[in-house]
Structure 1
Amino acid sequence: MLCRMPPHESPLGRLRRGHEELVLSLLRRHGPLSRAELGGHSGLSRTTLYDIVAELVERGAVVATPCDPALRRRGRPVETLTLNPEAGQAIGIDFARRAVHVAAVNVAHEVIGSASRGHAADLPWEDRVALAERLVGTLGEGPLRLGALSAIGVGVVGPVVDPDAERAPGGPHGDLPALLRKRFAVPVLLDNNTRLAALAEATWGAAADDEDVLYLRLSHGVGGGLVVGGSLHRGAYGLAGEFGHITVDAADGARCSCGGTGCLETVASVGAVLAACRAAGGTAQNLPDLLRAVAAKDPVALRVLESVGGRVGAVLAAVSNAVGPGVIVLGGALAEAGAPLLDAVRAAFTADLLPLAREKVELRRASLGEVAGALGAIALVLHESPLLSRYPARPESEESS
């Protein structure tokens, strides 16, 4: 299902592909550049660069624009090259538990629009796909053009162990890929929506300045994702990022939906936090009640969040000591509690993190909100596109630029 480099590609083809990726990455990072500036940044020979640029222009991925006459020097007019926003658009859809979120981005990585709509938890897949199609139709000012990025990225709840298995009717997500292909007539790239939110935060959000990112979402479930070297890390079995099932209370913990006992999800999910508040004498019945109690500095709510933050911080430190991220992003509905939770997470995280790493790892709050999964689905398309593979990884030759 994922469009990867063909295994039979020749060494010369791989070299050319690498040159294309380098040029596209430089235009993403620096914006419009002349051929001379591209040559300086890339280190490619003039002949090679002109050949690669000509191919990208012909394919519509790059456009050449005459320089402002006021800035021209003597001799031939200087053209600038830039990613072509008209070359195509990528659509992302996040099928959350009780809502559909959609977004669209062009190849210049400008967000065209986003939209969301809630629904009943038991809404059939056919109706969810129809809802997604209607929402996609509201984006932008005219019909969306998939062009060179002809695929749709899709986020779903739960593990996506084998993308190819999702083709089979009756799989864990029903006939969803087939339904989407029928509606949009393009390939479908499927992944876990929390993992895609991690990719979105590393691409456009709170961690856009780093390529090694650990993301944790605290919501009705607890999960996360790892972005390593600018690319989403799925793991050998497609289960990377299941931080919610790390054991934090083996002795007296509650039973988890995964079958284990004392998982982080049994402590730090919205339902678990509300239950802890009620057990301690609080009255919050739902998340808005809890947030109002926090704003009013209710001692029960603050005490529970401090305890939860300590558990979360300890897990984040343990994972960080193992994988070494540059940025940790904390998101999800429970993060709306703000400082009472985040400060407790930060304190426990700092205490348990290796001393040498304490000045190197930053803990930040997520910035993309509920549309993060849909944007991450778009980033997945941009990664897998033959034109934009491994976006937003930085080419090694840029280090010296």
Structure 2
Amino acid sequence: MLSSMHPHDGPLTRLRRGHEQSVLELLRKYGPLSRAELGTRSGLSRTTLYDIVAGLVTSRAVVVGTPYIEARKRGRPMEKLSLNPAAGEAVGIDFARRAVHVAAVNLAHEVVGSASEGHAADLSWPERVDIAVQLLDSLTTGARGESAAGGSGRAQAVHLGALRAIGVGVVGPTTDPGSESAHAQGIDGLPDLLRKRFGVPVLLDNNTRLAALAEAVWGAAADSSDVLYLRLSHGVGGGLVVGGALHRGRHGLSGEFGHITVDPAGERCECGGTGCLETLASLDAVLRRYRAAGGRADSPARFLAAATAADPTALEVLARVGGEVGGVLAAICHAVGPGVIVVGGELAQAGDALLEPVERALRQHLMPLARHHVDVRRATLGEAGSALGGIALVLHETPLLTHYPQPVSEENA
């Protein structure tokens, strides 16, 4: 978009181009900013900044608008500069264990729409990709979608012709697609499959870590630079934001909290361990514990309904699960010292029936000095969380990714 503005490539042109890229990068990271805010963050003089902004507006790379909240104040409304929403869009796809979730965001940081569809756990990758394509097709008409917080609503139309890239979340560690680990997971051909369907770069990462990123960028932990995220779903996993940066770990193995041992004499876990948190706190495990205690629910949804209805057996099971989860979280807190813990996944829909036991056990196991320095919150982005995290990965729009290793992409697929 900017190349047409520079017919010559001398030192002054290169300097101007550097200033333009600096301004565009700030708008990618922070969303709409006033000229004064841009000046403070960029360090450019007022004259230089206004000249750069004028060129970007003329080229339609940047648009000028007045936020509604500003327009209601007295005096001259404050103009905000943002990336042109029509300049491109980014799509995130979350391939969860038993569902596909998609979300789309334009370059002005506006969520265009999101949608989800469940499927059998053993569905093939081509069939899962077909579901993703159908969901995105549904967003192109604006006929189907969900808000970022998971509520239903009519989405804006997604213009796939403006697509820049796709950020994709998958279950489990994400290493090089040609590795034995990737082959065992069955994802070694996924990036290439998606690239052929959409014709754009594909960035692949662990879906729970992407959910942590999304909650730290747009969700429950947007005000903290040290975040511990735990997802309680059909699997149990997590993510860490440490010192304002998302932590991936060597070989992408960070955040495997579901495989921390809770009961050494417990059930065998699919990871090869025994008594892992996932064998006690995943949706299927909680449902088994409920039925073993006399409960009659035959699905996680009905168990959650029983808990909402204050069924004593369901509440007792959640109290035990919450105690086990809180103990694990306390141990992790002693290692990384987060300021905020975010609990997400379907089991978090139980609300206080789960979170209160979690917090009690957390306070009990934390050393006294740390007990009042950790805030436990429920995730706010719902099913769209991981897909939104994939979008953040694509846009590289946040300082949380400043030191993040390059994720798997089409170039090394």
Give TM class, smaller chain: 0.7 to 0.9
* Equivalent runs, 1:15-164 vs 2, <5 Å: 19-20=22-23, 23-24=26-27, 28=31, 31-34=32-35, 36-40=36-40, 42-46=42-46, 49-50=49-50, 53=53, 57=57, 61-64=61-64, 81-141=81-141, 142=157, 144-145=159-160, 147=162, 150-162=164-176
The one-letter code of the counterpart of 1:185 is G
Distance 2:379 2:80 in 1: 35
Match of 1:356 in 2: 369
Does 2:253 correspond to 1:239? yes
Q: Which blocks of at least 5 consecutive residues in structure 1 are unaligned?
A: 1-11, 394-401
- Shift of residue 247, structure 1, vs aligned partner: 1.0
Match of 1:211 in 2: 225
Change (3 A) 1:199 1:60: farther
- Tell me which of 387, 390, 395 is aligned to 2:399: 390
Distance 1:171 1:303 in 2: 35
- Shift of residue 140, structure 1, vs aligned partner: 4.6
Distance 1:93 1:182 in 2: 15
Q: Is the 8 A contact 1:166 1:172 kept in 2?
A: no
Match of 1:298 in 2: 311
Match of 1:319 in 2: 332
Change (3 A) 1:170 1:355: closer
Q: Is the 8 A contact 2:303 2:314 kept in 1?
A: yes
Q: Is the 8 A contact 1:153 1:381 kept in 2?
A: yes
- Shift of residue 144, structure 1, vs aligned partner: 1.5
Match of 1:8 in 2: none
Q: Is the 8 A contact 2:174 2:182 kept in 1?
A: no
SS for the counterpart of 1:139 is helix
Q: Is the 8 A contact 1:233 1:240 kept in 2?
A: yes
The one-letter code of the counterpart of 2:195 is R
The one-letter code of the counterpart of 2:132 is A
- Shift of residue 159, structure 1, vs aligned partner: 1.5
Distance 1:266 1:331 in 2: 17
Distance 1:318 1:21 in 2: 41
The one-letter code of the counterpart of 1:117 is E
SS for the counterpart of 1:373 is helix
- Shift of residue 188, structure 1, vs aligned partner: 0.2
The one-letter code of the counterpart of 1:24 is L
Number of aligned positions between the proteins: 368
Distance 2:231 2:395 in 1: 23
SS for the counterpart of 1:285 is coil
Change (3 A) 1:349 1:27: closer
Change (3 A) 1:390 1:279: same
- Shift of residue 360, structure 1, vs aligned partner: 2.6
SS for the counterpart of 2:252 is coil
Match of 2:146 in 1: none
User: Deviation string for 1:246-303 (max 9, x for gaps)?
Assistant: 11112x2211110011111111112222222233333333213322332343332222
- Shift of residue 307, structure 1, vs aligned partner: 1.2
Change (3 A) 1:304 1:170: closer
Change (3 A) 1:249 1:167: closer
Match of 2:202 in 1: 188
The one-letter code of the counterpart of 1:151 is A
Q: Is the 8 A contact 2:231 2:345 kept in 1?
A: yes
Change (3 A) 1:235 1:318: same
SS for the counterpart of 1:151 is strand
- Shift of residue 202, structure 1, vs aligned partner: 1.3
Change (3 A) 1:184 1:230: farther
The one-letter code of the counterpart of 1:344 is P
Distance 1:298 1:265 in 2: 24
Q: Which blocks of at least 5 consecutive residues in structure 2 are unaligned?
A: 1-14, 142-156, 403-413
Deviates more, 1:287-296 or 1:81-90: 287-296
* Equivalent runs, 1:249-398 vs 2, <5 Å: 249-250=263-264, 252-383=265-396, 388=397, 390=399
Q: Is the 8 A contact 1:167 1:178 kept in 2?
A: no
- Shift of residue 64, structure 1, vs aligned partner: 4.4
Does 2:197 correspond to 1:202? no
Change (3 A) 1:88 1:340: same
Distance 2:222 2:55 in 1: 29
User: Deviation string for 1:193-246 (max 9, x for gaps)?
Assistant: 111111111122211222322110111111111123444211012010100011
Q: Is the 8 A contact 1:27 1:33 kept in 2?
A: no
Distance 1:351 1:285 in 2: 33
Deviates more, 1:332-341 or 1:289-298: 289-298
Change (3 A) 1:304 1:109: same
Change (3 A) 1:346 1:59: farther
Q: Is the 8 A contact 1:112 1:140 kept in 2?
A: no
Change (3 A) 1:322 1:163: farther
Match of 1:399 in 2: none
Change (3 A) 1:337 1:229: same
Q: TM-score, normalised by structure 2?
A: 0.78
